[in-house]
Chain A
């Protein structure tokens, strides 16, 4: 694998990791915009815009885009998070030019009003679809609660009200201010030649306007809050808790990742043995999320409502033990082995490499090879784990429940 990068004439950054040993090539535009870059008036616009990108530009109609992507057998889609909107396609090497041309057209869509009005229905349906998924509802509420007053608390999908009220011209204006070369990185991973990719990018991306990034990175100041979204007819209760963790530029992030594996991986972790193995809870895990200028621990519990209080006490017991005593050398080694294997397996396919490539560049302007990541994981020491725990103890400020419970007190 070989990494190369350059800046195109319009200021667009192109990064590429070429690998002649794979059968496909993946290309993706990583746009540094998401729900955190929205105001309440346009809540949900980043995600809605991601849908509208597929509705075509001056050259391609919406039908053309879906048709041509299918003609070249592309695996393609897009996603929107709090911080990044990503558009990608994985294709056989001979179709890379077609894929680049189509993907580039997604950056400069026409945003026609009639398409906007029709797609609005699809977005409203998507909001309803997620409402029917309790764990997603719980996620949406915990983000809004934990990051209340902070941009990361903005909902990705928006609400029925914000989407209904959104106009095409508001979207156009949002697009103008966020889709420029200061906010966009083009990443390529897989079987291709760097010179060819540079030529294709110059040919198809020149229409992307120049611009400079602007994102506010206020500090997060969560207040202790417990919120219950009551759904009387549900069988299970879903509880998420969040507390502050290291941010995406913090060197402790690898240690934080390993700690979350020791404490809350979905099998073989402290929480697993304490709650899942004995059958107390269907799920009990802890994950670590890194954001631009912020970070968070997030725990998840799914169990029958009558066992929530005792199960939350079990979580607390595990967290207290970690905060007081840390972890053992054996646990650290087991977590290193798990994570190292995941890095290798995920990195085997161009699509897996693409997200790592784009993510590292977006957050840290750095390239990290698979062996860089493996080395970083191997190098994490018990001292660093202790540092993480000291600076970011497993202490949750925010609790959200979705299910039949109306209170979390012991009965």
Chain B
């Protein structure tokens, strides 16, 4: 896997990573700005989400419609998303048009209008999306599970809280923008069939005037105690579990990755085989790694009808714990094979390369090449992964359930 990654920093602090991909026709970019939901003030959870809605509503003298038409005519597929740490701008189009699209994207990020008239509609949309989330049990569970797994504000919903929305004003949103949407902690990843020298020139020109801002610390609060059950008149009982693991930047991250892959990395993995295939207890079951800069969790999910929910919970937790009893060479080998093919296939996707560049830089302060990941994964041994699993067997688990009846949390509380 041959890769060249160019990196440079603008005088205002914006860090840029560029990966030329000569075999593709497209180009993609991801820009992380340090203005995510964790920056929301107390009792104003949703400020970043409203700001996210307002970015495309006119910028740099172009109305919302003009900006939209300009970007559509460049074939730009794009999105602005709010997460905990960042508000993320992503975009992709055919490679020859990215340079023409960048001034519009930069305008939206650096000089959005944030007009009074656009505030109410943006807040209404955030409210409606939260209302919809309340109606979707799996999404609602995911939101609450996160709250019980990471201390606030890292566990808080970056999409906002219904109760807080009425307190948020247009000035709060503008303040959020002028305090946090800053180049000095922002990271831009670009990947595609592009000339690095040309793209550098464009980036320097369009982002050069972005003014750096002071950096603010984040204070963390208390973690609520689970098990927690949400009464909901749903067809299924939705079960969420979480436990501690190491973050992406940890030396042992690849062992943590292997441990989760053994549980849920493919259809031959433990949870799918034992809970779904052998017992037919559910359709959806999964476990995945979540990482902040300094903390990591495994989040697991199963959805099942109420009469089978207790068995599903008990069997799932037992399978998670059984991992420390031993793993086989064959199952680790399968995880490695899946990883290798994913890494190679990443070279077909400019979008996934652009976001990996930015993500690596945020967590590690460097970009890990696909070759290095491949080597790290290949080097994993069964005994090394087993040791990790034994050392990191959950000593406690977060359990959140949503459905018509609560479950006996004994299998979790007895840990």
Contacts and interface: CB of A to CB of B under 8 A. Distances in A.
Given A236-B135, A273-B65, A73 B339 contact: yes
B288 interface: no
A22 B23 contact: yes
B305 A124 contact: yes
A235 B337 contact: no
Contacts of B236: 125, 128-129, 131-132
Interface in A326-343: 330, 333-334, 337-338, 340-342
A288 interface: no
B305 A24 contact: no
B334 A340 contact: no
A337 B73 contact: yes
Interface stretch (A7-15, A105-113, A212-220, A274-282): A274-282
Interface stretch (B10-18, B37-45, B117-125, B384-392): B117-125
Contacts of B215: none
B68 interface: yes
Contacts of A24: 341, 344-345, 348
A278 B128 CA distance: 13
Interface of B: 23-26, 56-57, 64-65, 68-69, 72-77, 92-94, 120-125, 128-129, 131-132, 134-138, 233-236, 238, 265-269, 272-273, 276-284, 303-305, 333-334, 337-342, 344-345, 347-350
Interface stretch (A37-45, A248-256, A345-353, A361-369): A345-353
B92 A345 contact: yes
A90 interface: yes
A132 B136 contact: yes
Contacts of B278: 118
A318 to B, nearest CB: 15
A153 interface: no
A119 B283 contact: no
Nearest to B129: A282
Interface residues of A, number: 65
Given A73-B339, A338-B75, A279 B267 contact: no
Contact of A121 (B268, B280, B342): B280
Contacts of B333: 71
A122 B73 contact: no
A194 interface: no
A63 B280 contact: no
Contact of B128 (A62, A119, A282): A282
A234 interface: yes
B337 to A, nearest CB: 4
B120 A279 contact: yes
A132 B136 CA distance: 7
A235 B266 contact: no
A233 B233 contact: yes
Contacts of A289: none
Contact of A236 (B64, B94, B132): B132
Interface in A113-145: 118-126, 128-129, 131-134
8 contacts: A67-B334, A70-B334, A282-B131, A334-B72, A334-B73, A341-B76, A348-B25, A350-B348
A83 B131 CA distance: 34
B277 to A, nearest CB: 7
B137 to A, nearest CB: 5
Contacts of A74: 341
Contacts of A121: 280-281
Given A63-B268, A125-B236, A345-B92, 4 more contacts: A66-B267, A69-B268, A125-B280, A276-B125
B121 A66 contact: no
Contacts of B334: 67, 70-71
Interface in A75-111: 75, 90-92, 95
Most buried by A among B24, B92, B238, B267: B267
Contact of B338 (A70, A268, A282, A303): A70
B121 A349 contact: no
A273 B118 CA distance: 13
A235 B131 CA distance: 6
B304 A125 contact: yes
Given A125-B305, A350-B348, A302 B266 contact: no
Contacts of A120: 280
B235 A128 contact: yes
Given A125-B282, A129-B303, A304-B131, A70 B268 contact: yes
B125 to A, nearest CB: 5
Interface string A292-309: 000000000011100000
Contact of B74 (A92, A123, A303, A337): A337
Contacts of B122: 279
- The 8 A-B pairs with the shortest beta carbon distances in the complex, nearest first, are A341-B75, A279-B121, A73-B341, A121-B280, A279-B124, A235-B131, A282-B128, A73-B337
A408 interface: no
A333 B276 contact: no
Contact of B345 (A70, A75, A236, A278): A75
B252 to A, nearest CB: 23
Contacts of B124: 279-280
